Amino acid sequence: MPSTVVIDVPASVPAETPTEPAASGRTIARTAVGIATWAVLALAVAALAAVALGPRLGLFQVETVLSGSMEPRFQPGDLLVVVPEPLSEVRAGQVLSFHAPTPDHRVETHRVVRVINPGPHPVIITKGDANSAPDPWRARLHGTTAWRMVAVVPAAGSLIPAAASRHQRPHQ
């Protein structure tokens, strides 16, 4: 009887290939781009949340400038960011938004030139920077806070009416 011969052949072992520098560089670049994309997305979501929630929480308000009375500080079409200021901290030199003591009670944003009666309901004299004389009234501030201007976004207020008009139906 013939004898059977068994030959053990080792399984093939893949040859080790050194990591190519170009391949690892591409992996690092892809990872960096992915991280940067997520970071930009996270910042955009945070900014959108702040803009949407800030006014609702009373942290700030935005106002569109309608006149040139405060030029060159800001101009018609600019967007102002105003924050609450305790009435007890109202000082000359601040730019405040308040309801003018006029029949229409329009919102004015002018510089305080003098605080006549400091305290819980101060009386202020205001003036637009572009105006030659103070406003023709003395405004008594009511409530607990005034709105102090902290930032100007040039021309951004012009975008609001343009965006709104695109979403309105024509009058019939």
Q: Which residues are catalytic?
A: 67
DSSP code for 45: H
Neighbouring CB atoms inside 10 A of 50's CB total: 13
Please state, in angstroms and rounded to a whole number, the distance separating the CA atoms of residues 40 and 61.
25
Chain-centre distance for alpha carbon 54: 9
Contact 78, 156 (CB under 8 A): yes
C-beta separation of 78 from 69 below 8 A = no
Q: Which residues pair with 123 in a beta bridge?
A: 140
Alpha carbon distance 11, 52 (integer Å): 64
User: Using CA atoms, how far apart are residues 114 and 124, in angstroms rounded to an integer?
Assistant: 6
What's the rounded Cα separation, in Å, for the pair 81 and 74? 12
